[in-house]
Amino acid sequence: MAEEKSLNFIEEIIEEDLKSGKYKSILTRFPPEPNGYLHIGHAKSICLNFGLALKYGGKTNLRFDDTNPVTEETEYVDSIQEDIKWLGFEWDKTLYASDYFEQLYEFAVKLINKGLAYVDDSTSEQIAAEKGTPTQPGTESKYRSRSITENLQLFADMCAGEYEDGSKVLRAKIDMASPNMHMRDPILYRIKHAHHHRTEDNWCIYPMYDFAHGQSDSIENITHSICTLEFIPHRPLYDWLIENLEIFPSHQYEFARLNLTYTVMSKRRLLQMVNEKFVTGWDDPRMPTITAMRRRGYTADSIRDFCDKIGVAKRENLIDVGLLEFCVREHLNKISLRRMVVLDPLKIVITNYDEGRTEMVSIENNPEDPDSGYREVPFSNEIYIEQEDFMEVPSKKYFRLAPGQMVRLKSAYIIKCEEVVKDEDGKLTEIRCTHIPESKSGADTSGIHVKGTLHWVSIKHAVHAELRLYDRLFKVENVNAAEGDFKDHINHDSLQVISTAYAEPALLHAKFDERYQFLRKGYFCLDKDTSEEKLVFNRTVTLRDTWAKEQKKH
RNA sequence: UGCCUGAUAGUAUAAGGGUAGUACGACAGAUUUUGGUUCUGUAUGUCUAGGUUCGAAUCCUGGUCGGGCAACCA
């Protein structure tokens, strides 16, 4: 019995529209500008737009808002499509605002003919000055009263390439005194003699966002055009253009964009991180981009689940990145194969275990999944455990290895620490232990109960691997609100590379599509930098660590 | 000084005139051959002042606070 989930405000609008018969079905769109890679904020929008269509039996178009040729590239077009598919969504039509350039031109002509648009020869400085300020009305351009005929000719000449970049624009004739800055004769077209990634050199005038987006929505018969809050003041213009062009009335609805703690989410800033080499690229696993999260090992399921959990509303929000990590862990816990890897080795010699002997112990692949079976892991008299799993002078709640203390080695034997060996400098070199032969997992007749269980790797069977551990990219929770430049807050210790970790042999056959939990150390996946010579793993996310939390208290 | 927009536990998000609920986080405990998982429990909230009403998070009025708006960007 599915619990009835409450509706967000957009779902309410849609249900109302469907119920009233305003629409028979809905059509949404996801409209990225191909000038950067998609990030987790886009994922929220994607899940919303595609999710709505799925829920109400409609469709979603993918439309590239490619009206500014100087920043847009096909590299981004390709990555965007890949990321949406990976997230698990299918769009109806692949469209481009540039597909409509011809029609948009006709729309502009129509507006001119209605006396609602004019060509302005003012410089951008002049236009800005005449625009006024939010508290003071603007003044009208001296070109505002040109005749329809003259405007028609001038606009045609603009299109024909007779003018330099910036020398003329086409403006809507609305109201220079409007309290809404966007209604003060907004620019509709500008001249850019630039190469476009699709229309190439066919055009030298390009429509502005406001004259492309809503019109594209209308051409496609989009019923619900969903965008972020900063477009609210554009809505009167969106509606004005549709009304005066007398075209299909799409409607715009705005929701609050996603902000995440310890993260920047603007494409401009992310591009800066890439260009200035704070990260290795758009897919650096520390980035909040979809491609980076995929590389890091986040699953599409967990990202969708996250987007579902954060909800959709109109108030500004700053979501705890911990919630994203929770979603990732929750999914990974169910699907990850358990493996043992020692990151920071401490040698253990088991003195009462035959030196030449190798014993295979059987370990479950995933206790959360009974069908995942077991694997055989070699055990011998010399093994590595983590340095942190031994304390010469244990603190009170410590129940790992310490002089005279016993712990269980996962799926193998209970061992007892008999002797601590150090070098001349007093540095630990090895721990000598004895094992309890009758304590073997599955056949334990020792009657001994220990509190700690450690992961371990047999030294002579160990496989070497490089591990990359990631921390948050920024040191402050709210980067947007932090003083100074955002780059001042970059965490320069966000990447820790462990060049040699010791892994159980099964990981020699690690696969790119499998997820692993390195026991007690976190979730990992194979990185694309893996080669014949070297295994490279990314730590996707740590395990919850209540022991570390406990220690921080003291 | 204008216009637009929003305000519910630490963070998000419900409740649409009738018991303020859910998730993450925090805290306490149980289980556990991962200090993981799972389970149980606890604490913490309606921006403010009035008004309408038997009854207000919800409706009305005033205030306070936050965000946005002056790119030939989207």
In chain A, the percentage of residues whose pLDDT exceeds 70 is: 99
What mean pLDDT do residues A89-114 have? Answer: 98
Annotated active-site residue in A168, A173, A267, A408: A267
Whether residue A280 has pLDDT greater than 80: yes
Give tens-digit pLDDT for A504-518. 999 999 999 999 999
Binned at pLDDT 50, 70 and 90, residue A391 comes out as: very high
Given a contact cutoff of 8 angstroms between Cβ atoms, the answer to whether A389 and A413 are in contact is no
DSSP string over A267-317: HHHHHHHHHTTSSSSTT-TTSSBHHHHHHHT--HHHHHHHHHHH---SS--
Given a contact cutoff of 8 angstroms between Cβ atoms, the answer to whether A474 and A495 are in contact is no
Give tens-digit pLDDT for A51-84. 999 999 999 999 999 999 999 999 999 999 999 9
Query: What strand order describes the sheet that includes A495-503?
Result: A337-339, A516-518, A522-526, A535-541, A463-470, A495-503, A341-342
Given a contact cutoff of 8 angstroms between Cβ atoms, the answer to whether A91 and A61 are in contact is yes
Q: Which nucleotide has the least CA–C1' distance to A71?
A: B73
Determine the Cα–Cα distance for residues A192 and A394; give it in Å rounded to an integer: 71
* Pair of tokens at residue A279: 């990260």
Per the annotation, the verdict on A432 as an active-site residue is no
Given a contact cutoff of 8 angstroms between Cβ atoms, the answer to whether A256 and A232 are in contact is no
Whether residue A242 has pLDDT greater than 50: yes
* Residue A354 φ/ψ region, left for φ over 0, alpha for ψ in the -120 to 50 degree band, beta for the rest: beta
Q: Which nucleotide has the least CA–C1' distance to A259?
A: B12
What mean pLDDT do residues A261-283 have? Answer: 97
pLDDT at site A82: 98
pLDDT at site A2: 40
Residues, chain A: 554
What mean pLDDT do residues A463-471 have? Answer: 98
Provide the mean pLDDT of chain A. Answer: 97
Give the other-Cβ count within 10 Å of A510's Cβ: 20
Give tens-digit pLDDT for A352-387. 999 999 999 999 999 999 999 999 999 999 999 999
Q: How far is the CA of A511 from the C1' of B7 (A)?
A: 49
Determine the Cα–Cα distance for residues A259 and A320; give it in Å rounded to an integer: 9
Binned at pLDDT 50, 70 and 90, residue A25 comes out as: very high
Q: Which nucleotide has the least CA–C1' distance to A232?
A: B4
What mean pLDDT do residues A136-147 have? Answer: 97
| Ramachandran angles phi, psi of A399, nearest 5° | -125, 40
Binned at pLDDT 50, 70 and 90, residue A1 comes out as: very low
Strands A406-409 and A414-422: antiparallel
Burial annotation A80-95 (CB, 10 A radius, 16+ → b, else e): bbebbebbebebeeeb
Annotated active-site residue in A59, A144, A192, A257: A257
CA angle A118, A228, A49 (to 5 degrees): 110
pLDDT at site A190: 98
Give the other-Cβ count within 10 Å of A252's Cβ: 20
Strands A428-435 and A187-191: unpaired
Per the annotation, the verdict on A257 as an active-site residue is yes
Residue A495 pairs with which residues in a beta bridge? A470
Determine the Cα–Cα distance for residues A209 and A65; give it in Å rounded to an integer: 8
pLDDT at site A4: 61
**Token pair 């967000």: residue:** A8
Q: Which nucleotide has the least CA–C1' distance to A409?
A: B33
Q: Is A202 helix (H, G, I), strand (E, B) or coil?
A: coil
* Residue A33 φ/ψ region, left for φ over 0, alpha for ψ in the -120 to 50 degree band, beta for the rest: beta
Given a contact cutoff of 8 angstroms between Cβ atoms, the answer to whether A250 and A257 are in contact is no
* Residue A332 φ/ψ region, left for φ over 0, alpha for ψ in the -120 to 50 degree band, beta for the rest: alpha
Binned at pLDDT 50, 70 and 90, residue A423 comes out as: very high
Determine the Cα–Cα distance for residues A548 and A550; give it in Å rounded to an integer: 5
Q: How far is the CA of A260 from the C1' of B27 (A)?
A: 25
Binned at pLDDT 50, 70 and 90, residue A17 comes out as: very high
pLDDT at site A553: 75
What mean pLDDT do residues A305-317 have? Answer: 97
pLDDT at site A552: 84
What mean pLDDT do residues A154-170 have? Answer: 98
Element (H, E) at A409: strand A406-409
Q: How far is the CA of A137 from the C1' of B62 (A)?
A: 28
What mean pLDDT do residues A266-276 have? Answer: 96
Give tens-digit pLDDT for A479-504. 999 999 999 999 999 999 999 999 99
pTM above 0.90, yes or no: yes
* Pair of tokens at residue A111: 């507006």
Distances (CA, A) of A361 to A31, A348, A378: 54, 18, 6
pLDDT at site A457: 98
Q: How far is the CA of A529 from the C1' of B44 (A)?
A: 47
Annotated active-site residue in A33, A140, A150, A466: A33
Give tens-digit pLDDT for A336-352. 999 999 999 999 999 99
